[in-house]
Amino acid sequence: MQLSIIVPTYNEAPNVTELVRRIAAAMTGVDAEIVFVDDSTDATADVVHEVAASAPLPVRLIHRDVATGGLGGAVVEGMRAAQNDLCLVMDGDLQHPPEDIPILLRRFAAGDVDLVAASRYLHDGSAQGLADRTRVLVSRASTMITKAMFPIRLRDVSDPMTGFFLLDRRAVDYAGLKPRGFKILLEILARKSLRVAEVPFRFADRFAGESKASFRQGVNFLVQLTGLRFGKMSLFAIIGGLGAIANLAIMWALIELGMHYIPAAIIGAEVTIIGNFILQERFVFQDMKGEASGIWSRFAKSVGFNNGEALVRIPVIALLVNTWHLSSIIAAAITLVLAFIVRFMFHSLVVYAPRKAGAKTSTAREVAEQLDSQAVSPGEL
């Protein structure tokens, strides 16, 4: 059996030597290589080179100057560079015991699955290596939320966020992956239906160094989860929501300073229109920019449409204030909510439309297919 072991690392220099030693000891009878994909700022790369010189199995290093996609991006890059189709992914801190690798291999050898995941929550598994009870509760809650959002794809998976798994890379749709952060297994399972089996494992304490868990990683996970489940529409909604809050805050501040609510609404709208465009370019439609028109054309279309929408929306605010006697802030909030769907449709179908049209289809069918693809990809019905 030929195996490539993918180890993404970030400042794990104290763990490399022991990790390679234990992997090598566990790989008796297996033709294996270790591929470190390193984003470190410490001496991890130097230690890998030093260990590789005397290791009993091939050890390769891919050092990335730009950590595109975070840990998930490192895993994808490692799988692409692997010499073997059978790839095992594990962390570099020894919380994933190398001695369990043969267990995953034996389960995969049964030939009835595409992927074998090591689970902390199956039978004799354990999450004892989590730093404290709070992290255990966060992990459990995150798992429950994730399974609730993907009840079909994850029905046979008790630990969709484990970083310890074995798969045939030929089953992975690389083109469909959008790695972000560190939950690469969730990304793989959510984007393509695979045959999955699990084996229990005991999540160990770190051998050395400090945990990389942080509030920022938690935010990245939530963004990844909503993006996977609801596609671009969810990210568009998040940015739109932030823009709406900023819009209302600017409007409120200007009114408090004595400005009439109409010019205050105009200024708030202009600031957030530009801000929303910048964020949408970076986080929502980044994968569509290559085939769309140039950035200034996209900017003109987006700002022009949103200003046209604002010209309609602001008189509606005035109507709600003067006729229904609503607060100007509440009236603005109502119109922002109603404008959301129209904005998303325009940006998906016009601003980021490919420069060259594809096969000829009816306009209604093309609109329906594009909306379905952009709004819910790759979620489930």
Mean pLDDT lowest among 128-137, 181-190, 220-229, 324-333: 128-137
The CA-atom distances, in angstroms, between 52 and each of 20, 32, 58, 283 are 9, 13, 7, 38
Q: Residue 215's CB: how many other CB atoms inside 10 A?
A: 7
Please state the pTM of the whole predicted model.
Answer: 0.59
Answer left, alpha or beta for residue 258, where phi above 0 means left and psi between -120 and 50 means alpha.
left
Write out the H or E segment, with its range, that includes residue 166.
strand 165-168
Whose CA is closest to 154, among 170, 143, 163? Answer: 143
Contacts of residue 32, Cβ cutoff 8 Å, sequence gap at least 6: 2, 3, 4, 5, 23, 57
Mean pLDDT lowest among 90-104, 122-136, 343-357: 122-136
Three-state DSSP class for residue 313:
helix
C-alpha 250/C-alpha 336 separation (Å) is 14
Q: What is the pLDDT of residue 343?
A: 80
Q: What is the pLDDT of residue 214?
A: 46
With residues binned 3-state (H G I as helix, E B as strand, rest as coil), the percentages for the chain, rounded to 5, are: 55, 10, 35
Are the C-beta atoms of 181 and 220 separated by less than 8 Å? yes
C-alpha 145/C-alpha 41 separation (Å) is 34
Domain boundaries, the chain: 2-228, 231-376
Beta pairing partners, 196? 115
List phi, psi (to 5°) of 311. Answer: -65, -30
Contacts of residue 24, Cβ cutoff 8 Å, sequence gap at least 6: 55, 56, 57
Does position 319 have pLDDT exceeding 70, yes or no? yes
Q: What is the pLDDT of residue 22?
A: 95
pLDDT, tens digit, 9 for 90 and up, residues 354-376: 775 554 555 654 655 565 455 54
> 321 is written with which tokens?
């204030």
Contacts of residue 193, Cβ cutoff 8 Å, sequence gap at least 6: 153
**68 versus 131: which is more confidently predicted?**
68
Q: What is the pLDDT of residue 216?
A: 56
Mean pLDDT lowest among 123-137, 231-245, 294-308, 323-337: 123-137
DSSP 13-71: GGGHHHHHHHHHHHTTT-EEEEEEEE--SSSHHHHHHHHHTT-SS-EEEEE-SS-TTHH
Q: Is the peptide bond before 378 cis (omega within 30 degrees of 0)?
A: yes
CA dihedral of 154, 157, 162, 166, whole degrees rounded to 10: -100
pLDDT, tens digit, 9 for 90 and up, residues 257-302: 999 988 888 898 889 889 989 988 887 777 677 778 888 888 999 9
Q: With respect to CATH, is domain 2-228 assigned 3.20.20.80?
A: no
pLDDT, tens digit, 9 for 90 and up, residues 51-85: 999 999 999 999 998 878 778 889 999 999 999 99
